[in-house]
Amino acid sequence: MTALALQLVQMLVVLAFAPALIGLVRKVKARLLRRQGPSVVQPYRDLARLLRKDVVLAENASWLFRVAPYMIFAATWVAAALIPTFAIGLLFSWSGDMIAIIALLGSARFFLALAGMDVGTSFGGIGSSREMMIASLAEPAMLMIVFSLALIAGSTSLSTMTAYMASPEVGLRVSLGLALIALVIVALAENARIPVDNPATQLELTMVHEAMVLEYSGRHLALIELAAALKLLLYISLIGCLFLPIGLAGAEAGAAALGLGLAAYVVKLAIGGALLGLFEVSIAKMRVFRVPQFLGAALMLGLLATLLRFVSASF
């Protein structure tokens, strides 16, 4: 029973923290640019406002356009709930391994790209087309990272992997360093962050993610924004639990350990968000056709990390 309760807590925690993380990144960016910036809780207010508004649907939008936000949100939420945030070995953590989590995000993206093409404007098309181009390079890079980590930990199940990374036997490995760099690159690309995409852009030609969701409004837009926030949280949690597995509670931990795990998780999220903000203000957005090189680097790093593991496993 407590196991089920913990799993539910996990699902609510990711949902509750996701908008705050976006707010934090925005605040950090604004402060670094010497602006006041909106409050950290502004994304919650935005969501509440969007929920109160009418939906304005384009004239030829089909049923897919109205169903897609729910699918995108559900797939992203399930994926985020499978990541160890404050505790490992949760009740349903075995139901999907890391490959399944990536593929769930792939499902969400599939529907988002289709929704972008539904209305039949050139914006939606340009967004979908570029998003799929970026994804077609980011996804293999991500799988290569999973391979290298899975070979080190001997498992693709995220709980086992995290437990292994937290144990002292993991040591310092070249593969891990390469995988971390590649994972950061993929996380930036997948979350439509600078230098790949700009979440705050108003200029149509540079939009990728924002171009796909241009036709959405009201409650549909709220769901999509929440899903995007969840995805950012997912990647920061993933980096946190794999490369900074401090304070994670075990499978049968007591209340104190769980509280500690939650506190450590909040700190990790804050550090991740602040670093992201710092990175974003210190770099310029790149041209769309430079992105393949950027992501190709991630793919090659991941492949290199995997190859190193393949080769060194025999010694």
Q: Which of residues 183-242 bind another protein (CB under 8 A)?
A: 204, 214-215, 218-219, 222-223
* 283: contact with another protein by CB under 8 A: no
Q: What is the C-alpha separation between 87 and 85, in angstroms, rounded? A: 6
The correct pick among 30, 74, 251, 270 for binding another protein (CB under 8 A) is 74
Contact window for another protein (CB under 8 A) among 21-29, 73-81, 175-183, 235-243: 73-81
161 touches 216 (CB < 8 A):
no
Does 128 bind another protein (CB under 8 A)? Our answer is: yes
Residues 142-181 that bind another protein (CB under 8 A): 143-144, 147, 150-151, 154-157, 160
Give the binding range for another protein (CB under 8 A) out of 27-35, 72-80, 231-239, 240-248: 72-80
Yes or no: say if 153 and 161 are a contact pair by the CB < 8 Å rule. Answer: yes
Residue 31 near residue 37, CB atoms below 8 Å = yes
Residue 20 near residue 40, CB atoms below 8 Å: yes
Is the CB of residue 250 less than 8 Å from the CB of residue 87? yes
Q: Does 120 bind another protein (CB under 8 A)?
A: yes
Tokens of 83: 């990541």
Residue 9 as a binder of another protein (CB under 8 A): the answer is no
> What x/- string results for residues 79 through 98 when contact with another protein is judged by CB under 8 A?
--x----------x-xxxx-
CB 276 within 8 A of CB 25: yes
Neighbours of 283 (CB within 10 A): 12
Do 131 and 172 form a contact (C-beta atoms < 8 A)? no
Applying CB under 8 A, does 109 fall inside the site for another protein?
Answer: yes
Candidates 29-37, 107-115, 268-276, 278-286; binding stretch for another protein (CB under 8 A): 107-115
